[in-house]
Amino acid sequence: MSIVMETERLLLRPWRESDAEILFRYAKDPDVGPAAGWPPHTSVEESLEIIRTVFSAPETYAVVLKQTGEPVGSCGIMFADGTHSAAIVDGEGEIGYWIGVPYWGNGYIPEAVNALISRSFNVLGLSALWIGYYDGNRKSSRVAEKCGFTYHHSESGRQVFDGECRTEHFMRLERAAYVPDVKLRRVHEDKGRYMELLLVGDEQESMVRKYLPSCALYVVSAGGLEIGICAVDESCEGCVEIKNIAIIEGFRRKGYGRAVLGMIADMYPGHKLKAGTGEVPSTVGFYKACGFAYSSRVPDFFTDNYDHAIIEDGVQLKDMVYYELQR
């Protein structure tokens, strides 16, 4: 299955053969490849071959601007059993990246690298990450610093494509030192584009479309990577209701849902904050652990309003049970 990651401004997706001309446009620039230790591309055909070989490796992504839909650079995670520069061992990874010259200085690569870090630690379960850069490549070292990496060691006599020997510096980030920056971003237009995420929290699309227009929709990001969604109904004066909250697989049971509820509570001071759910022990336990208490119930809500049986953790949902935050 192809992995596509989304940040505020970027999509990280696998490279496609149809990207060859765009790749060549940026990879032919002598200011790009040599700084990272690889030669400038000499033709579209060469770029196509790179896509078919080097860029076909697992966890290698085109850095695509949402605004244009076109790739402007590349990033990826390398492992102990593949091509890498650092002395990594099983359970660790190395992050590599580059971006076309016209896009330098816009913060796109730190945004992409933060997404890779989040995936590496939360989904892939890696214990540590490395970034290597050659002496003098201040732009690359600045990216690593911005993303929380610290200097580890240097190795001299590293030979690159043209036979030159360089010094390579290595920076490292351990899972224990990783503190993701959890943020909520309100969506003001085209809420429906997040339907896939919304259906993680509520599996019937017709129901989602019924309440979505009256809701404030917030995208949840961790380390810049979009990992969840929260829909908050603001239509009742003095009270807001969480209609949908969902965190994607790989990021659950790690405190992100609790963080989101806390942020939502802070955003609506002076309001009652309630959430409706089915009587699933794990979900009820989650809300109680976050400071919510039983408020009321609507009998047969799920059986009367959904066109199929809703099953969660082996439990068929029947009544809608409301919990309210005890401020």
Measured CA to CA, the distance from residue 92 to residue 77 in angstroms comes to: 10
Measured CA to CA, the distance from residue 111 to residue 116 in angstroms comes to: 9
pLDDT value for 224: 87
Opening angle at CA 40, ends 34 and 45, nearest 5: 155
N-term to C-term CA, the chain: 44
Average pLDDT of the chain to the nearest whole number = 93
Q: What's the rounded mean pLDDT across residues 78-87?
A: 75
Q: Tell me the CA distances in angstroms from 269 to 7, 160, 259, 263, 299, one per residue in order.
A: 28, 58, 16, 11, 30
pLDDT value for 164: 85
Q: Would you place residue 82 in the very low, low, confident or very high pLDDT band (cuts 50, 70, 90)?
A: low
Written as six digits, the tokens of 288 are: 């109680």
Q: Would you place residue 81 in the very low, low, confident or very high pLDDT band (cuts 50, 70, 90)?
A: confident
For the cut 80, the answer to whether the pLDDT of residue 86 exceeds it is no
Q: What's the rounded mean pLDDT across residues 20-39?
A: 95
Measured CA to CA, the distance from residue 181 to residue 225 in angstroms comes to: 10
Phi, psi torsion values for 151, nearest 5 degrees: -60, 135
Contacts of 183 (CB under 8 A, 6+ apart): 220, 221
Q: Would you place residue 115 in the very low, low, confident or very high pLDDT band (cuts 50, 70, 90)?
A: very high
pLDDT value for 49: 98
For the cut 70, the answer to whether the pLDDT of residue 83 exceeds it is no
pLDDT tens figures, 203-249: 999 999 999 999 999 999 998 899 999 999 998 889 999 999 999 99
**DSSP readout, 219-264?**
EEEETTEEEEEEEEE--STTEEEEEEEEE-TTSTTSSHHHHHHHHH
Beta bridge partners of 132: 170
Measured CA to CA, the distance from residue 4 to residue 18 in angstroms comes to: 17
For the cut 90, the answer to whether the pLDDT of residue 159 exceeds it is no
Measured CA to CA, the distance from residue 291 to residue 274 in angstroms comes to: 11
Contacts of 28 (CB under 8 A, 6+ apart): 40, 41, 42
pLDDT tens figures, 248-281: 998 998 889 999 999 999 999 989 999 999 999 9
In this prediction, what percent of the chain has a pLDDT beyond 70? 98
Q: Would you place residue 1 in the very low, low, confident or very high pLDDT band (cuts 50, 70, 90)?
A: low
For the cut 70, the answer to whether the pLDDT of residue 176 exceeds it is yes
For each of the domains in the chain, give its residue range(s) and CATH number, in order of start. 5-177 (3.40.630.30), 182-325 (3.40.630.30)
For the cut 90, the answer to whether the pLDDT of residue 316 exceeds it is yes
Measured CA to CA, the distance from residue 273 to residue 111 in angstroms comes to: 32
pLDDT value for 46: 97
User: Looking at per-residue confidence, does 1 or 287 come out higher?
Assistant: 287
Q: What's the rounded mean pLDDT across residues 76-101?
A: 87
pLDDT value for 27: 97
pLDDT value for 84: 62
pLDDT tens figures, 117-128: 999 999 999 999
